[in-house]
Structure 1
Amino acid sequence: MTITDVVGGRRVEVVRGVADLDREVWNAVVRAAGGSVFHSWEWLAAFEEAPPGVFEPAHQLAYDGDRLVGVCPAYLVHHCPRLERIAETAGIDLGGPVLLAHSLAAFAGGPLALPEHLDALDALISGLADTAAALGAWAWGAVNLPAGRLVGRLIGAGYAAARLNTTYLLDTRHATVEDYWSTFRSKHRRELQRERRVLTQSGVRITESAPDADTHVRLVHGVVADHGASLDVLPEDFLRALHRHLAPHDRSLTAIDLSGDAIAVFAAYDFGSERSLWLAGLDVDRLDSFGPYRPMVATAVESAITAGVPLVNLGRGNPAPKRRVGAVAAPLYLALATTDRPRTALLHAALRRLERDGADHDDVGDGCC
């Protein structure tokens, strides 16, 4: 564990793995700061147990005295298929490891701080730069940042930034499911009812349950392979680790046919005030299209309303059916910095190209998330 003094009198500790983090204290800060499952201790534990690449943990913790007031998961990335694909799209040759906060597989990244200690964000950002220098990183930054003041703050500090992708958020603060559907045109309600009726008549039912790990891996890999993507972006061990570590937060949906076989899955997790639909999977050997997709999205939304979950993150890709249920596009940004001036210019040019040519490109296919 390394301790770094930063501006404003904040103390930032750099912790080299979840084994040195207090799960309850860390998660309490994430919840209070408005974070989701992607900042949770459980997500980091799964990531470190079976990483989809080669990563060294370097998590940042900001303290006010002895009280933890801000966190920033981070990894020194030596090999990551997603990052390398982004670098290729941006036309840049990474000259060494990158300290990234924190994972391209997640829907959210960067630092979080308690509402009454937002100045801790500056300490965490400064600490990230110090840690990058100490670890010999070629560059450092944050990925999947929501649009807002933090992105503006990083751009103002000289970071190169680009919109990397888009996720879709749905406000589910409705008294009842009927109140929610009453906001839609009757035509759209009839279309969904027809799709659900066709699904039921074909013998498929949607259950609020997670399949076993073997089935989960098979269905997710079915979609990945069907889109012509490499399975190394979502390796089997990583999916199994997430399936196990995130079990306490699991709110997955599974479509089951007449024989009792799972033919489709949405991996979904509740944490804090958000339900996140992270991955979709499909039995591509038996289905030539994702027929259950929209009824499963609607079921996930209805379930969240009934459970009192105020926000559903429907994930990346497939914008049309997500907009049809009322979701709003939320851009996600990548921000990178370096101390080398020629390299800084290179990063700015590369991220401009990325936003122009590669934004909203998902390594695992538009049907996966």
Structure 2
Amino acid sequence: MHATGAPVFYRHAYLSAYEHAPLTDVHSFAYFVVRDGDKAVAVTPAYLQTVADPLRRLHETYPEARDQRALLSHAWHCYDAHVPATARVLPRLLESMIRTASIFGARWCGFVNVQRGDALSRDLRASGLPARHLTDRWVTDLAGVESYEHYLARLSQRARANLRRNERRAREAGVTAEAVDVGHAALVEITALCDKTANRFDNNDFYRDSTFTAFVGALGDLVHVVEVRQHGRLVAAGVCLSDATRFHTWTCGIDYTVEGNYSPYGVLFAESVRLALRLGKPTLEDGRSNAAFKQRHGLSPRHLDAVLFPV
């Protein structure tokens, strides 16, 4: 997967951490490996789930699959499904997935968070499998961007002024932002803030106290944590991931009851962009949701589909 440029969600450390500390209820794990002789040409993880949709998007898109077992690739905490060499391996892969789903007693099988128009999407459609839109993820190209000021220069005058004003007000309110490695991050505090934020948007159980802490802690140098504090109190936190070419602002928590006329989310976003530039990553992946803010600040949507079929 490393050789094919797959995103961080397919790194061994990520998959191992998810198996030992799954962030959703997983009944069984399956890892499909397609080989050409002795050479692995495709690898796909899949997860047998009943409550398969902590964001509730899949059940809105496929109401007929609600509360039924499904073998899905990848997990919900990955927003970029990836299968290398799809045209060559997809028929054999689908056959194996369907057979395994049947053995597991699943009623449904398929892929979630497939980027519309990419190779996997095209080959699934060519196989006669219809796709239904789930949500969007947000991305911007940082190639050639030399500094945060250079990044700001690409934005509209209003967006640029808003970010600068927000950081000035945050400084006046005693706010600091710092990137720390996972070994020094306040993971228990961060988990509580992420959980509180998810609950605010009715995404209950997207984070689980000890499980989330164990999962993030197991990722090692794949993780970069951004902590935003006001007089020592955590008001925003971002758990970010990186691979060879991308910096992922994977998840965050925000305290919306701060003192002062500033946005903790805006401070966190600005520090995340700076960190991506310091690490030299040409692509910023800014996750799902909060479309209005992201579009205003130079990010573009990538449409994500689900492709499910009955077993």
Rounded Cα–Cα distance in structure 1 between residues aligned with 2:127 and 2:41: 23
Report if the CA contact (8 A) 2:53-2:59 is conserved. Answer: no
**Relative to structure 1, is the Cα distance of residues 318 and 290 closer, same or farther in structure 2, using a 3 angstrom cutoff?**
farther
Report if the CA contact (8 A) 1:74-1:102 is conserved. Answer: yes
Rounded Cα–Cα distance in structure 2 between residues aligned with 1:334 and 1:216: 30
Give the secondary-structure state (helix, strand or coil) at the position aligned to 1:276. Answer: strand
Report if the CA contact (8 A) 2:136-2:289 is conserved. Answer: yes
Rounded Cα–Cα distance in structure 2 between residues aligned with 1:280 and 1:287: 20
TM-score by length of 1: 0.75
Shift of 1:264: 0.8
Equivalent AA in structure 2 for residue 280 of structure 1:
C
Give the secondary-structure state (helix, strand or coil) at the position aligned to 1:76. Answer: strand
* Structure 1 match to 2:244: 272
* Structure 2 match to 1:59: 31
* Structure 2 match to 1:261: 233
Report if the CA contact (8 A) 2:169-2:261 is conserved. Answer: no
Give the secondary-structure state (helix, strand or coil) at the position aligned to 2:170. Answer: helix
**Relative to structure 1, is the Cα distance of residues 207 and 118 closer, same or farther in structure 2, using a 3 angstrom cutoff?**
farther
Count residues with an aligned counterpart: 305
| 2:200 matches 1:226 | yes
Equivalent AA in structure 1 for residue 228 of structure 2:
A
Report if the CA contact (8 A) 2:33-2:44 is conserved. Answer: yes
Question: Structure 2 matches for 1:154-165, cutoff 5 A?
Answer: 154-165=124-135
**Relative to structure 1, is the Cα distance of residues 134 and 172 closer, same or farther in structure 2, using a 3 angstrom cutoff?**
same
* Structure 2 match to 1:140: 109
Report if the CA contact (8 A) 1:47-1:241 is conserved. Answer: no
Any idea what the Cα deviations from partners look like across 1:128-171, whole Å, max 9, x if unmatched?
Answer: 22322333321210001111242232233232421101010011
Report if the CA contact (8 A) 2:241-2:247 is conserved. Answer: yes
Rounded Cα–Cα distance in structure 2 between residues aligned with 1:75 and 1:162: 20
Equivalent AA in structure 1 for residue 13 of structure 2:
E
Please, which moves more after superposition, 162-171 or 120-129? 120-129
Q: Which runs of 5+ in 2 are unaligned?
A: none
* Structure 2 match to 1:120: 89
Question: Structure 2 matches for 1:86-235, cutoff 5 A?
Answer: 86-87=58-59, 90-94=62-66, 96-109=68-81, 111-113=82-84, 119-148=88-117, 149-177=119-147, 178-209=149-180, 211-230=185-204, 232-235=205-208
**Relative to structure 1, is the Cα distance of residues 180 and 290 closer, same or farther in structure 2, using a 3 angstrom cutoff?**
closer
Equivalent AA in structure 1 for residue 116 of structure 2:
A
Rounded Cα–Cα distance in structure 1 between residues aligned with 2:67 and 2:161: 55
Any idea what the Cα deviations from partners look like across 1:253-305, whole Å, max 9, x if unmatched?
Answer: 110122x2322101101122111111110235656998121232122122212
Rounded Cα–Cα distance in structure 1 between residues aligned with 2:260 and 2:216: 26
| 2:5 matches 1:34 | yes
TM-score by length of 2: 0.88
Tell me the percent identity. Answer: 25
**Relative to structure 1, is the Cα distance of residues 204 and 120 closer, same or farther in structure 2, using a 3 angstrom cutoff?**
same
Rounded Cα–Cα distance in structure 2 between residues aligned with 1:295 and 1:46: 29
Rounded Cα–Cα distance in structure 2 between residues aligned with 1:313 and 1:87: 25
| 2:39 matches 1:70 | no
**Relative to structure 1, is the Cα distance of residues 299 and 96 closer, same or farther in structure 2, using a 3 angstrom cutoff?**
closer
**Relative to structure 1, is the Cα distance of residues 289 and 40 closer, same or farther in structure 2, using a 3 angstrom cutoff?**
farther
Equivalent AA in structure 2 for residue 220 of structure 1:
C
Report if the CA contact (8 A) 1:54-1:77 is conserved. Answer: yes
Report if the CA contact (8 A) 1:273-1:309 is conserved. Answer: yes
Give the secondary-structure state (helix, strand or coil) at the position aligned to 2:195. Answer: helix
Rounded Cα–Cα distance in structure 2 between residues aligned with 1:146 and 1:93: 21
Q: CA RMSD in A?
A: 2.5
Equivalent AA in structure 2 for residue 113 of structure 1:
P
**Relative to structure 1, is the Cα distance of residues 331 and 84 closer, same or farther in structure 2, using a 3 angstrom cutoff?**
closer
